[in-house]
């Protein structure tokens, strides 16, 4: 069986493992999913190692360095994650963990984030091993747990406790990139070369507790609410990095318009939800996401807290924290709950040439451009060890499919033809990477 024949089935199988990650409340299914991947690799003679940061929080590492590859070259790290965000079945047209194939699509939680690429990678590696086709250089395969919670029990843990599996790699590919975006009957393939840094903050207001019927000039909830309002309504200045500018240049050329960097989302609204992702990379952002305070209607509490999802553009982390300090004022403080670095590399070199060549060979009309992602991936952990990271999980998508909206969305699904396209591209890429 070749990769194109089995990739949809592998994707369905992986979706059937409910690997929902609930963050601080834990996760499930990661052990079973990792064991499934290990069995599929073992089936073609590739041995895996399973590591657990906590019981059942399982990350898989495997080496594929067959005879015929150039072992003088450093391994290429190819990574995926097995966990997914939770799904509420009643919101979906299909059971999100049934892995059904309907109308030419594989449906289910993880179909695009990122069990599609997990399946592409497994199917291509399995076919090449069966046919005795070595990659150009050794491949390090890593399937992580806990990516959807920022990776402290997955990639970050592995990089800290077992850096030897990453530090000998100089380059890596994984999510999110390599997918097509149709604009004016032209297909742009977006390669992620950068992603914003992560700063999840807890705001804390301390005040004077008291009776709800009396005046209180030191009300923790009032202080917190004012700080949250200032943060939520703040307009951050545009901060444009090379990946963003190259993407905007390509869009301007295709659309024949000039794009104002302070109005990207409105200008690109017709492109669908990609406009929101691109718009979010044009500046630092900070969104209030949680509020907690008080325990009875007639009691003014002594403390109140809020959660802030902060993201910063590469090079502007200090600006982010300085601005937050100004916005919260002197009656509120913050604690950093999770901090992850911004990731950025240049759009050049042999690996970029291999990505471009493999895409254009399968789609001669392709235009390959870099972009920055507003969210985060396991690349943050690998980059700490000096690895140059790219988002390259290739898919040719129907023009009408709002692909970005399916990430963490209801009725997540991926076309079977797109999976098969990804197999062909990745196969070519491994000959050149």
DSSP 151-220: STTTHHHHHHH-GGGTTT-SEEEESS--EEEEETTEEEEEEEEEE-EEEEEEEEEE---EETTS--TT-H
pLDDT tens digits, one per residue of 350-365: 999 999 999 999 999 8
Q: Counting beta carbons within 10 angstroms of the beta carbon of residue 21, is it exposed (0 to 12), middle (13 to 18) or buried (19 or more)?
A: buried
Residue 130 has pLDDT above 80, yes or no: yes
Using alpha carbons, select from 83, 80, 192, 82 the residue that is nearest to residue 140. Answer: 80
The pLDDT-based confidence of 321 (bands split at 50, 70, 90) is very high
pLDDT of 362: 97
- Residue 381: helix, strand or coil by DSSP? helix
- Using alpha carbons only, how large is the chain's radius of gyration in Å? 23
What mean pLDDT is reported for the chain? 94
What pLDDT score was predicted for residue 158? 98
Nearest-angstrom CA–CA distance, 426 and 395:
10
- pLDDT computed for residue 13 by the predictor: 98
**pLDDT value of residue 269:** 73
Phi, psi for 104 (deg, rounded to 5): 80, 10
Q: What is the pLDDT of residue 259?
A: 78
**What percentage of the chain exceeds 90 in pLDDT?**
81
pLDDT interval class at 254 (50, 70, 90):
confident
Task: DSSP letter for 285, please.
Answer: E
Which range among 60-69, 99-108, 203-212, 397-406 shows the weakest confidence by mean pLDDT? Answer: 397-406
pTM of the model: 0.92
Instruction: State pLDDT tens for residues 406-425.
Output: 888 999 999 999 999 999 99
What is the mean predicted confidence (pLDDT) over 198-203? Answer: 95
What number is the average pLDDT over the span 149-169? 95
Tell me the mean pLDDT in the region 181-186: 85
Residue 150 binned pLDDT confidence (cut-offs 50, 70, 90): confident
**Is a pLDDT exceeding 90 seen at residue 23?**
no
Region 305-334: what's the mean pLDDT?
96
- The confidence score (pLDDT) of residue 400 equals 87
pLDDT for residue 323: 98
Query: pLDDT value at position 314?
Result: 95
Tokens representing 421 are 């396209």
Residue 94: pLDDT band with limits 50, 70, 90: very high
pLDDT value at residue 301: 94
DSSP string, 35-55: HHHHHHHHTTT--EEEEESST
The pLDDT of residue 16 is 98
> At residue 264, does pLDDT exceed 80?
no
With beta carbons less than 8 A apart as the criterion, state whether 247 and 332 touch. no
Residue pair 300/219 in contact by the 8 Å Cβ criterion? yes
């Amino acid at each position: 069986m070749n990769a194109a024949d089995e990739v949809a089935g592998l994707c369905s199988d992986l979706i059937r493992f409910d690997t929902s990650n609930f963050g601080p409340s834990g996760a499930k299914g990661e052990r079973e999913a990792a064991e499934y991947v290990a069995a599929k690799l073992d089936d073609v003679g590739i041995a895996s190692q399973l590591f657990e940061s906590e019981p059942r929080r399982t990350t898989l590492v495997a080496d594929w360095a067959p005879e015929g590859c150039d072992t003088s070259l450093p391994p290429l790290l190819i990574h995926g994650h097995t966990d997914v965000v939770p799904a509420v079945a009643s919101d979906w047209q299909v059971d999100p963990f049934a892995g059904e194939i309907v109308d030419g699509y594989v449906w289910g939680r993880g179909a695009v984030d990122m069990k599609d690429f997990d399946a592409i990678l497994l199917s291509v590696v399995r076919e090449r091993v069966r046919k005795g086709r070595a990659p150009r250089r050794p491949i390090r395969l890593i399937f992580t747990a806990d990516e959807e919670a920022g990776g402290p029990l997955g990639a970050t843990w592995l990089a800290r406790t077992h850096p030897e599996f990453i530090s000998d790699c100089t380059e890596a590919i994984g999510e999110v990139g390599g997918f097509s975006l149709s604009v004016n009957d032209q297909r742009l393939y977006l390669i992620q070369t950068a992603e914003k840094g992560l700063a999840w903050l807890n705001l804390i207001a301390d005040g004077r507790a008291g009776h709800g019927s009396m005046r209180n000039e030191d009300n923790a909830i009032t202080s917190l609410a004012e700080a949250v309002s200032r943060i939520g309504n703040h307009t951050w200045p545009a901060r444009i990095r090379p990946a963003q500018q190259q993407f905007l240049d390509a869009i301007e050329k295709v659309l024949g318009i000039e794009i104002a960097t302070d109005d990207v989302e409105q200008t690109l609204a017709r492109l669908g939800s990609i406009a929101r992702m691109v718009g979010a990379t044009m500046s630092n952002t900070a969104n209030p996401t949680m509020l907690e305070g008080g325990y009875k209607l007639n009691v003014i509490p002594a403390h109140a807290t809020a959660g802030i999802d902060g993201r910063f553009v590469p090079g502007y982390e200090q600006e982010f924290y300085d601005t937050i300090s100004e916005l919260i004022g002197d009656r509120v403080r913050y604690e950093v709950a999770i901090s992850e670095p911004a990731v950025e590399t240049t759009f050049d070199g042999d690996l970029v040439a291999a990505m471009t060549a493999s895409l254009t060979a399968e789609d001669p009309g392709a235009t390959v451009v870099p972009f920055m992602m507003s969210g985060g991936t396991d690349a943050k952990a690998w980059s700490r060890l000096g690895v140059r990271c790219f988002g390259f999980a290739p898919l040719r998508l129907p023009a009408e499919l709002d692909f970005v909206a399916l990430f963490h969305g209801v009725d997540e699904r991926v076309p079977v033809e797109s999976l098969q396209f990804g197999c062909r591209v990745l196969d070519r890429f491994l000959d050149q990477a």
